[in-house]
Chain A
Amino acid sequence: MLTKYLTGVTTAFSPFNARSGKTVRNFLALLPPNARSTMAIDVKMFGQSDAQKPATLSLKFKDGKELQLDLEKMKIKDIQVEVDRHSRILRRKDELSG
């Protein structure tokens, strides 16, 4: 997953939700070790009783585009595809300009 062009990750989820919790935790594990110096990461976790609360994951890119991901339908592969699709556009722009 191309994480170079991400500037912000905001998420709220419950780790006790077998579907969305796993997806978000997998996504956070994919961020590089120095992620906190290059992007703003805001993680909010619900408890066990709020496991069915809808989880949110919103991403911000360098060009200012914001992406809201629907965690009910998407799994980690789909999220990777979405992030890569926009990141490749940004990379192309970078290459052409620089």
Chain B
Amino acid sequence: MPPRLRFRLPSSQVGGGRAPYVCIQCRHASLASTITPAPTIHPTIAHYPPNQPPSHKPPEYRKSQLHRQYQSLLRSSPLILIFQHNNLKATEWTGIRRELSNALRKVDVELAKDGKEIIQTGILASALKVVEFWEPKYEADGQAAHPASPATDTSTAVQDARPDDAAEPIYTHGLSRLAWSTASRNAKTTRPPGSDLTPLLSGPLALLTFPTTSPQHLAAALSILAPTKEFPAPKRKVNAAYHEKAVQDGIAKLMLLGARVEGRVMDMAGTRWVGGIKGGMEGLRAQLVGMLSGVGAQVTTILEAAGRTLWVTVEGRRGMLEDEEKAKDKSGEQKVE
């Protein structure tokens, strides 16, 4: 039996000339870890271009675009009439549109840029909520500080915006998540009574929008679309096309529900009152000026009156004295003779 000798090599010999075994992948990893880590995406790079901010709802849907369109419509037109249309035919619509544009053109050429539009009621209601209860402060926030816009200086400190941070407050457009959440929260808490358009917003609706609040145009439109005693429809002799059957049938099926005048809700009577303001805005201003100048004239006459009465009494007294003197002179002459 051979002797069992434990033959121990010196440790230096084991590791000898070779480097200790390291797997290649690990070596790469260790090498990578020694280098300074590659910078993650730099905070000043925005993930959204300035013309495509993140939207609360998918922006490619028609609903989202309609929502945006209605917001701009509601913000840009101070005078909106709301009609319900009950199964109008296409020929009736064209007839009504033609008559309306003719009537408005008669009032004024420049201002006749109104729009008549059939709307998606539910989306309008939502857009109205956003418009009424969400007031983005575009000026205060400084829209210029958008990281991706070329107008921004490179030295400007900008907030970081990540794809998962679509609720970042730098996105304050009407479709943003911030607008949606703020509007729906405010609509629940602060809805002033009486200033509510929501009961009107159901069923088939059409809007007639004006770019300015002009009572003359409103009166012209009302006389065509919803004729009453105050706003009589054009006579058959004046406008024969208005009395065609298609137009008359269509107008019978249009119902004026109300109006939104400079953010305030008006019913039918209120709308007719606005339309009945004589001479429009200029007329109102002229009335106000007339009233104020009338007051001024009264004040001056009252102030003058004291001086005038004094002058009248003094004059009267002088006349009396002169008469007396004349009488004395006459009597003296008579005595001399």
Q: Which positions in A face B, CB cutoff 8 Å? A: 15-18, 21-22, 25-26, 28-29, 31-33, 35-36, 43, 45, 47-49, 51
B257:A48 contact, CB within 8 angstroms: no
B84:A29 contact, CB within 8 angstroms: yes
**Nearest CB in chain A: distance from B13 CB, A:** 96
**Hey, what's the 0/1 contact readout for B252-265 against A, CB within 8 Å counting as 1?**
11010110000001
**Hey, what's the 0/1 contact readout for B73-103 against A, CB within 8 Å counting as 1?**
0000000000010111100000000000000
Bound complex: CA A45 to CA B255 (Å): 9
Bound complex: CA A28 to CA B200 (Å): 14
**Residue B198 lies at the interface, judged by CB distance under 8 Å to chain A:** yes
Known contacts A43-B255, A45-B255, A48-B258; A16 and B267 CB within 8 A of each other: yes
Q: How many A-B residue pairs have CB under 8 A?
A: 60
Closest 3 CB pairs of A and B: A48-B267, A18-B199, A47-B267
Q: Which residues of A contact B204 (CB under 8 A)?
A: 29
Chain B's interface: helix, strand, loop or mixed, by majority?
Answer: mixed
> Which B residue's beta carbon lies closest to that of A17?
B199
Q: Which residues of A contact B266 (CB under 8 A)?
A: 48
B255:A16 contact, CB within 8 angstroms: no
Bound complex: CA A21 to CA B252 (Å): 19
Residue pairs across A and B with Cβ atoms less than 8 A apart, 17 shown, are: A15-B199, A16-B200, A16-B267, A21-B199, A22-B199, A22-B203, A25-B84, A28-B84, A29-B84, A29-B86, A29-B203, A33-B88, A36-B253, A47-B268, A47-B270, A48-B194, A51-B199
**Nearest CB in chain B: distance from A56 CB, A:** 17
A28:B199 contact, CB within 8 angstroms: no
Bound complex: CA A31 to CA B85 (Å): 11
Which residues 249-290 of B have a CB within 8 angstroms of A? Answer: 249, 252-253, 255, 257-258, 265-270
> Which B residue's beta carbon lies closest to that of A46?
B267
**Contact pick for B87, options A16, A26, A32, CB 8 Å:** A32
